[in-house]
Amino acid sequence: MKIAVYPGSFDPITFGHIDIIERAVTLFDKVIVTVSQNFEKTPWFTAAERCEMIKDSVSGLANCEVDHFKGLLVDYVSRMHGTAIIRGLRALSDFEFEFKMALMNRSLAEDITTVFMMPHARYTHVSSSLVREVAGLGGDVSMLVPDHVARMLKKKLA
Of the residues 41, 79, 120, 122, only one is catalytic, namely 41
Tell me whether residue 59 is one of the annotated catalytic residues: no
Of the residues 90, 106, 148, 156, only one is catalytic, namely 90
Of the residues 9, 57, 127, 128, only one is catalytic, namely 128
Tell me whether residue 2 is one of the annotated catalytic residues: no
For residues 16 and 21, give the distance between their C-alpha atoms in angstroms, rounded to a whole number.
Answer: 9
Q: In what order do the strands lie in the sheet with 3-8?
A: 64-69, 30-36, 3-8, 84-88, 113-117
Of the residues 9, 17, 30, 132, only one is catalytic, namely 17
For residues 6 and 19, give the distance between their C-alpha atoms in angstroms, rounded to a whole number.
Answer: 12
Contact 149, 53 (CB under 8 A): yes
Contact 98, 66 (CB under 8 A): no
Tell me whether residue 90 is one of the annotated catalytic residues: yes
Residues 6 or more apart whose CB falls under 8 angstroms from that of 12 comprise 44, 45, 50, 53, 128, 131, 132, 145, 149, 152, 153
Residues designated as active site: 17, 41, 90, 128
